[in-house]
């Protein structure tokens, strides 16, 4: 029996976090182990009128990359990927792995070289997210590997992840809309403030917030969210 929480999480990602509109070009990527959520996200994008483009990552390909790639290959950035990240309207990242320890024995210098090759892409993403031309959200799909890292059964880990993403299972989008409104009030309250004082039993803490910019963590770029 399909887990209805997967469909509800997809609904939140597409219709709340990234608010996909008709005509939006939406890039979806994640490991093939996250296929159940990728499939539901794909359906929701189509229903919203968007144009989904999926790049799934096959299990074990990162291991092959670091085993066989030359330095030149490790530093290479595919032009289609650059085009997508520079021009698409929405990016939805679904995290989840079959083996979170797969790269434990890889030469750190190789990982560094490959990561450095992504620097310009990362700058592009941050700039576009900052100026509002790109809507982005990342989420976790519960897998056995994640459950093992959390020292839980898969069912326990699923309950943890979905419980954080869908606190109101009957109306998850409504919950995040209410949460966003509440967070916005707090952010607005902080504007122009110079000092915050926290008073409680045996506690009197003061901290300066001069010049700080506060942003609402309301599930629009991370799911779950709220820090």
Q: Which residues of the chain have pLDDT under 70?
A: 1, 227
Percent of the chain with pLDDT over 90: 73
- Confidence at residue 190, expressed as pLDDT on a 0 to 100 scale: 85
What Cα–Cα distance (Å) separates residue 1 from each residue in 4, 5, 6, 220?
Answer: 9, 12, 12, 29
Q: In the prediction, which pLDDT does 1 show? A: 60
| Tokens (6 digits) for 92 | 């939805």
Per-residue pLDDT, 5: 96
Query: Which residue, chain included where needed, has tokens 């299972």?
Result: 169
Helix (H/G/I), strand (E/B), else coil: 175: helix
Q: What is the pLDDT of residue 227?
A: 66
Q: What is the pLDDT of residue 111?
A: 92
User: Quick one: pLDDT at residue 66?
Assistant: 92
114 Cβ contact partners less than 8 Å away, ≥ 6 residues apart: 65, 66, 74, 75
Nearest C-alpha neighbor of 122 from the set 77, 57, 175, 188: 77
pLDDT at 225: 85
pLDDT score recorded for residue 2: 74
> What secondary structure letter does DSSP report for 58?
P
How far apart CA 123 and CA 100 sit, in angstroms, is 26
């Amino acid at each position: 029996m399909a887990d209805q929480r997967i469909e509800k999480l997809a609904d939140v990602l597409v219709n709340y976090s990234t608010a996909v509109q008709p005509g939006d070009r939406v890039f979806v990527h994640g490991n093939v182990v996250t296929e159940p959520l990728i499939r539901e996200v794909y359906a929701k994008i189509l229903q919203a009128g968007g144009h989904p483009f999926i790049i799934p990552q096959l299990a074990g390909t990162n291991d092959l990359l670091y085993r066989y790639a030359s330095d030149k290959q490790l530093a290479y950035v595919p032009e289609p990927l650059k085009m997508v990240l520079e021009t698409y309207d929405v990016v939805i990242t679904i995290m989840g792995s079959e083996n979170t320890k797969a790269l434990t024995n890889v030469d750190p210098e190789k990982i560094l070289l490959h990561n450095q090759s992504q620097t310009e892409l990362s700058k592009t993403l941050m700039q576009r997210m900052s100026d509002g031309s790109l809507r982005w959200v990342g989420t976790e799909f519960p897998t056995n590997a994640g459950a093992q890292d959390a020292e839980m059964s898969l069912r326990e880990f699923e309950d943890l992840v979905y419980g954080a993403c869908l606190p109101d299972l009957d109306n998850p989008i409504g919950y995040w809309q209410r949460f966003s409104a509440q967070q916005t009030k707090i952010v607005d309250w902080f504007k122009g403030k110079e000092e915050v004082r926290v008073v409680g039993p045996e506690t009197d803490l003061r901290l300066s917030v001069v010049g700080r910019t506060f942003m609402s963590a309301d599930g629009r770029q991370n799911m779950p969210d709220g820090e």
